[in-house]
Amino acid sequence: MGDVVGPPPSPAPNGGAAARAGGVQILPVPGLPEVTPGADLAALIAAAAPWLVDGDVLVVTSKIISKAEGMLVPAGDDREAAREAAIDAETTAVVATRGRTRIVRTYHGLVLASAGVDTSNVDQDTIALLPRDSDASARALRAGLRDSLGVDVGVLVSDTMGRPWRVGVADVAIGAAGVRPLRDLRGQRDGHGNDLAMTVVADADQLAAAAELVKGKSGGVPVAVVRGVRKLVDVGGDDGPGAAALVRVLDEDMFALGTAEARALGHREAVTLRRSIRHFTSQEVAPDAIARAVASAVTAPAPHHTTPWRFVHVASDDVRKRLLTVMRDAWAADLRGDGFDEAAIARRLKRGDLLWEAPALVVPALALDGAHTYPDARRATSERAMFQVAMGAGVQNFLVALAAEGIGSCWISSTMFCADLVRAELDLPDDWHPMGSVAVGYPAEDPRPRPPRDGSAFLVTR
């Protein structure tokens, strides 16, 4: 175990030599140039480490991933204010605060100080954010090295975190490809015959921390190789579940809500994250992300213990094209009936381009199968209004849940004006009432800061 195939890097005189423990080697990758936006990291690393072999684990500091992917924001005249604004933008919930220190949950699901926003190892007029999707970055780097060098390595993207109840920081894996991040020993027995009931080992984190021994925070070596752990690398296999498998789901997090102060602040921040986004990137939105947002949506209150929410993800391009075409034609006909000329109609129809351009389209619908029937119009109207209020709460939950994952959205009322056509195109039951459309996608640019609003103008006290 641990045999070197190919020439490893020359040992550095000051602690950079390979660290050995039980046949495991930790090898620095020196000589990488300064990484700039758009850089081909796979090519740079292949040139600096042509000695990589199958089964090696490449550990890459997230900072150079962020630089290559352009996850940088200008600091402007006030770097600290820009840093605080960046933390706000990356945060979905505040877990704890003390003085100026904030422990937050990011849209990635990570819980860490300052949302991973960093001002070290970047120009003084720049602030670095975490990669948008470190698992995807790891997968791309693994594929690039396979193409460049013909080797099958595991890749970890690492970042530094503090640890509850422990002093000091350590590197952990926030992205992974080709490496099994967890080793589940539950159901096995130790050497004394005791059942292992709760032991799940975070091997990816241990590799990330080990690699930091030869990288360091200020040594200019952002990449290291852990050799001798081939059993943890899926050589010839797929990329695996990624470091997402290391993120504890909220339902199992005993400390998810943090302090009372943080809970109150986090609730306010979750709501204000929701913005109407009208320009999206071309990045696809994973169906799982939409499913998670729907799961949040259906926690809204509803009358009579019913579940009146339906969310139709229009995933078929053909269905989407037909739906938006009939909606556009119906809108144009309504405008002509209202006396608008063709130029004015064209201007108004352009507002609907967002639904064509967004990477995903979701149509919320109100199902009235649980509504009570009343003989008089007053109670029937009130019954319908109750369900509409519940639908609005569900849609708001849906939009906020998307925003919490860094996904933008824009609710547009269009389907409400041609409900019969929408039901026909989407093959929906007659008692499903389309309640607008939601364009979904990753924002092409950061929304302008939302000025604080004074609620007193909308609050009436009797």
Domain CATH code at residue 367: 3.40.109.10
- Residue 14 placed within a domain: no
Is pLDDT at 12 greater than 60 in this prediction?
no
Would the pLDDT of 390 be above 50? yes
Tokens matching residue 435: 């309640």
Residues 183 and 60 in one domain: yes
The average confidence (pLDDT) of the chain is: 87
| Direct distance between the N- and C-terminal alpha carbons of the chain, in angstroms, rounded to an integer | 78
What is the pLDDT at residue 165? 83
* pLDDT at 5 exceeding the cut of 70: no
Domain match, 192 and 216 both: yes
Q: How many structural domains is the chain composed of?
A: 2
Q: Is 249's pLDDT higher than 90?
A: no
375 versus 54: the higher-pLDDT residue is: 54
pLDDT digits (tens, 9 = 90+) for 317-330: 999 999 999 999 99
209 and 111, same domain (yes or no): yes
* Collapsed DSSP state (helix, strand, coil) of residue 366: strand
Q: Which of 263, 283, 304 is the last residue of a domain?
A: 263
Return the higher-pLDDT residue of 189 and 265.
Answer: 189
Q: What percent of the chain has pLDDT over 90?
A: 58
Q: Which among 263, 283, 313 is the end of a domain?
A: 263
Q: How far apart are CA 35 and CA 70, in angstroms?
A: 10
| 186 plus 328 within the same structural domain | no
For residue 4, the model assigns a pLDDT of 37
CA-to-CA distance for 370 and 302, rounded, in angstroms?
Answer: 10
Classify residue 144: in a domain, yes or no: yes
pLDDT at 446 over 70: yes
Residue 235 CB neighbours (<10 A):
14
Residue 258 exposure: Cα atoms within 13 Å on the Cβ side: 20
Q: Are the C-beta atoms of residues 440 and 285 closer than 8 Å to each other?
A: yes
The confidence score (pLDDT) of residue 261 equals 57
Q: What is the number of alpha carbons within 13 Å of residue 37 lying toward its C-beta?
A: 9
In this predicted model, what pLDDT tens digit does every residue of 328-352 receive, in sequence order?
Answer: 999 999 999 999 999 999 998 888 8
pLDDT of residue 393: 94
- Residue predicted with more confidence, 154 or 186: 154
More confident residue, 249 or 396: 396
Does residue 235 share a domain with residue 320? no
Report the pLDDT averaged over residues 262-286. 76
Q: Of 361, 364, 365, which Cα lies nearest the Cα of 430?
A: 365
Domain assignment present for 269: no
Same domain, 303 and 234: no
Q: Are residues 60 and 146 in the same domain?
A: yes
- Summarize the confidence of residues 235-257 as an average pLDDT: 84
More confident residue, 106 or 155: 155
Whether residue 460 lies inside any domain: the answer is no
User: How many CA atoms lie less than 13 Å away from 439 in the CB half-sphere?
Assistant: 24
pLDDT at 167 over 60: yes
pLDDT value at residue 1: 35
Domain carrying residue 279: 275-441
Please tell me the distance from the alpha carbon of residue 33 to that of residue 37, in angstroms, as a whole number: 13
pLDDT of residue 217: 66
Is position 11 within any domain? Answer: no
Q: Output the pLDDT for position 14.
A: 38
Query: Could you give the percent of the chain with pLDDT greater than 70?
Result: 90
Q: Label residue 384 by pLDDT band (50, 70, 90).
A: confident
Domain-embedded: residue 13: no
| CB 87 within 8 Å of CB 114 | yes
Residue 222, in any domain of the structure: yes
pLDDT of residue 18: 44
pLDDT value at residue 455:
84
Q: Residue 71 is part of a domain; what is its CATH number?
A: 3.30.1330.100
Give the model's pLDDT for residue 20. 45
Residues 199 and 103 in one domain: yes
What confidence tens digit (pLDDT) does each residue in 99-125 have? 678 888 898 989 989 899 988 888 888
Q: What is the pLDDT of residue 373?
A: 87
